[in-house]
Structure 1
Amino acid sequence: MPAKSKKRGNNEGSIYRRKDGLWCGQITIGRDESGKQKRQYFYGKTRQEVADKIAKALNDLKNGVYVDPARLLLKDWLNTWLWEYKKQTLRPSTFQDYESLINNHIVPAIGHYKLKDLRPEHLQALYNSKYGNGLSLSTIKHIHVILHSALDQALKNGLVVRNVSEATTLPKTKTKNEIRVLTLQEQQRFIAALEGERLRPAFLLALASGVRLGELLALKWDCVNLKEGTITIKRSLRRIKTYDKNLPTKTMLAFQEPKTAAGIRTIPVPPVILEELKEHRKRQLEERLQAGSLYEDNNLVFATELGTPIEPRNFLRVFYRIIEKANLDINFHALRHTYATRLLEANEHPKVVQELLGHNDISTTLNIYSHVMPEIKKAAAMKLNNLFENINIKGNHS
């Protein structure tokens, strides 16, 4: 049987299939200092994949933007990947988080390696070192996601032969961190400590709806239905970098949409909290009249006395003053955990709790609140017990 033709198309370079089934291609990218030709190799599962990589490389050579993989450092590729491939697709806050993880954790440890020389053990040592120094497993997972995505793009671009992040193993926590939930007594102490606070309704709403800090501070009156007794979460507020040299400040407060569709949700609010919101609305209108032309109407439910968005850090300062008064040691997220726990304790279905919290997957809800599940299972068993109460367990053995 005649061998298959290896004839290449125009400008494809040389493409052939190796014995292991992988397709390989090569092109000349110039000459080294001794005048010897320098070749760049490309690999793929199909001939077309290799041909596409070669075509891109040839086009980059033609336009003078080709980067020699032999000299490309990981830190330089991460910068290119972040700004050229991710900037337009990530939320501003996520982009900022990615940049922070790259600059503070990845680049200082392994950024000096040439991209082509990067090995699984380099990444593995990074993960292990960070874990050993107390970095949370969640943060390490985010670092892995960044590296995996960046190296996957490098593979598509023909800069590397394989994605070495796939040969790594993430550390596993030995014990699961216990989440902090207010007891009923602590919950009452917290509510009592809110007396006289201007933002009392904000903290009550957080405890009664489980919304996140950014979601609470981004809530607008057109998303509050006092008649139906609901609030609708559509956005969150966060301080982010501007990355614009023409702006007077390096950071700004920005509203942004939730990460997933599940984050957009409507939450029923207890009637007693609705009354608090109504009274809060009246006081807010009084503040607007007092401020006059200085007032900036952003239609925010919780704003400064001049109507501007509340800086999250300033809001948290108020929160920590309140919990000190209540003699509690919690963070703001504990209010969200308490809300979810109270619902599950009241035998609300986990699927409903998932939707109210805005979790994308019910497994997230079940994993976080597994501490409540034993009591729910016990209650279910007691319900079944009622069906068997009249059974003679010993039976008749006459």
Structure 2
Amino acid sequence: MPTKTKKRGNNEGSIYKRKDGLWCGQITIGRDENGRQKRQYFYGKTRQEVAEKIAKALNDIATGVYVDPAKITLKYWLNTWLWEYKKQTLRPSTFQDYEGIINNHIIPSIGNYKLKDLRPEHLQALYNSKCESGLSYSTIKHIHVILHSALDQALKNGLVIRNVSEATTLPKAKNKKEIRVMSLEEQKRFIAALEGERLRPAFLLALASGVRLGELLALKWDCVNLKEGTITVKRSLKRIKTYDKHLPTKTMLAFQEPKTASGIRTIPIPPAIVEELKEHRKRQLEEKLKAGNLYEDNNLVFATELGTPIEPRNFLRTFYRIIKRANLDINFHALRHTYATRLLEANEHPKVVQELLGHKDISTTLNIYSHVMPEIKKAAAMKLNNLFEDIIKTKGNHS
């Protein structure tokens, strides 16, 4: 039998310590259709933690905002968790991604389950069906991360007695879609197709630095050192939802910080690209003089002719027009892949490539560019071969 505490505070309900060391508390929240008392249980690592949960529940009951945990659906809880617990901590674009995953992948499948009835097999069936439908492994992993975090909060709030996501297994990743890298000949065709383009320096810089689209369009002149030949990535530009009914538009262009500290990085650029940027700056100053008072100076390296941020979709329209002219079948991200591949082919250390790309872990870099590794390993073996040849030749001369 659990040992009851000698005394409890006012309105705390019953709080006791279980044999497993966990504290448990309960309060009466009403009666069922048969007149029997309905109780809600709360759990915590300390007595104080349980007491605080009970106090909040009693306050919610008193103010009329209490929701019976037995009636809370996963859909209701995911929306509560997203807006009340994550809105202030996530980057706007990440919040938007979370909302999309919840509304498009989780709620339609298992959103109507009551939290108390949710079982590991419900989540497992969701993961398996998404895998079979061809959804990417990274998206399935994001589904799991969201569910695990939301259910963890539900556990802390005393809404569930365990986090059922911990009893699931993510399906194995299927064969990755092979990344597209331009050959040297294709790279030359792409550069040739940039002739006469106003934003030619932007595409050249992307190919020579591996920056992402949002990072390229958010680059400002104070992050470009033409003397040293470097650029510093500090932010990205993305169109996000506003979630504000008072604003005239549902979306807006926003600058945001990188997800991780590794995203902030300084990248050396080739002298030829430095010259391109110098010429580009001269033309930009001419555009500014021509536009006069209509020019909006945001100090952006790549902006519209009026100085405003470039809409990413418009930039991509220009990109696809260019690759059509070059007779290429690639997406913009292929420029980043090509940059990294050229570095690895030139025997640059993967750790350096990781830092230049802004990857948090070197495993990410190695996984993405595993196709280059066999050639690097072969080159390393050939370096050792020279050593062995010298030894063998020396031994032969002595015999």
1:355 aligns with 2:369: no
Q: For residues 108 and 3 of structure 1, what CA distance do their matches in structure 2 show?
A: 42
After the TM superposition, which residues 254-333 of structure 1 pair with which residues of structure 2 at under 5 Å, given as runs?
A: 254-333=254-333
Cα distance in 1 between the residues matched to 2:365 and 2:223: 25
The Cα RMSD (Å) is 2.0
Quote the residue 2:337 is aligned against: 337
Which blocks of at least 5 consecutive residues in structure 2 are unaligned? none
CA distance in 1, matches of 2:216, 2:56: 47
Task: Identify unmatched segments of 5+ residues in structure 1.
Answer: none
Quick check: 63-72 or 187-196, which moved more?
A: 63-72
2:241 maps to a residue whose letter is K
2:6 is aligned to 7
Structure 1 residue 5: Cα displacement: 4.8
Residues 370, 3 of structure 1: alpha-carbon distance in 2 compared, 3 angstrom cutoff: closer
Alpha carbons 1:194, 1:200 under 8 Å: kept: yes
1:171 Cα deviation after fit: 1.4
Mapped to 2, the partners of 1:21 and 1:227 lie a distance apart of 64
- Which amino acid counterpart does residue 261 of structure 2 have in structure 1? A
How far apart in 2 are the matches of 1:287 and 1:59?
Answer: 62
Equivalent residue of 2:253, what SS?
strand
Aligned mates of 1:393, 1:60 — CA distance in 2: 86
Aligned partners of 1:192, 1:248: CA distance in 2, in Å?
42
Q: Is 1:120 aligned to residue 120 of structure 2?
A: yes
- Residue in 2 aligned with 1:94? 94
**Contact conserved, 2:2 with 2:17, CA < 8 A, in 1?**
no
SS of corresponding position for 2:298 = coil
Cα distance in 2, alignment partners of residues 320 and 390 from structure 1: 53
Task: Indicate whether 1:389 and 2:389 are aligned.
Answer: yes
Deviation at 1:392, TM superposition (A): 3.7
| Contact preservation (8 Å) 2:3, 2:16 | no
Please give the per-residue CA displacement for 1:279-317, whole angstroms capped at 9, x wherever unaligned. Answer: 111111111111111111111111111111100000001
Q: 1:26 touches 1:39 (CA, 8 Å); kept in 2? A: yes
Please state how far the C-alpha of 1:38 moved relative to its aligned partner: 1.4
Can you list the C-alpha shifts for 1:356-375, whole angstroms capped at 9, x where unaligned?
10111111111111111111
More off after superposition, 53-62 vs 151-160: 53-62
Greater Cα offset, 172-181 or 21-30: 21-30
The question of whether the paired residues in 1 share the 8 Å contact of 2:124 and 2:169 is answered with yes
1:119, 1:367 → 2: CA distance? 33
Question: Does the Cα contact within 8 Å between 2:27 and 2:41 map onto a contact in 1?
Answer: yes
Q: How does 1:49-88 map to 2 (within 5 A)?
A: 49-88=49-88
TM-score by length of 1: 0.95
TM-fit CA distance, 1:243? 0.7
Q: Aligned residue for 1:26?
A: 26
Contact residue 127 and residue 140 of structure 1 kept, 8 A:
yes
Q: Which residue of 1 aligns with 2:231?
A: 231
Task: Name which of structure 1's ranges 131-140 and 58-67 shifts more when overlaid on structure 2.
Answer: 58-67
AA matched with 2:218 = A
Does the CA contact (< 8 Å) of 1:8 and 1:14 recur in 2?
Answer: no
CA distance in 2, matches of 1:232, 1:8: 61
Do the aligned partners of residues 4 and 83 (structure 1) sit closer, same or farther apart at CA in structure 2, a change above 3 Å counting? closer
**Structure 1 residue matching 2:116: 3-state secondary structure:** helix
SS of 1:152's partner is helix
Q: How many Å apart are 1:3 and its aligned residue?
A: 8.8
Q: Which has the higher mean CA deviation after the structures are superposed, 55-64 or 328-337?
A: 55-64
Output the amino acid matched with 2:8. Answer: G
Moved more, 241-250 or 387-396: 387-396
How many residues get paired?
Answer: 396
> Is the 8 Å Cα contact of residues 8 and 15 (structure 1) preserved in structure 2?
no
Structure 1 residue 215 displacement after superposition: 0.2
- How far has the Cα of 1:122 moved from its partner? 1.0
Deviations along 1:325-384, whole A, 9 cap, x unmatched? Answer: 111111100100110111111111111111110111111111111111111111112222
SS in 2 for 1:391: helix
Q: 8 Å contact 2:115–2:160 — kept in the other structure? A: yes
Structure 1 residues 21 and 268, CA, compared in 2 at 3 Å: closer, same or farther?
A: same
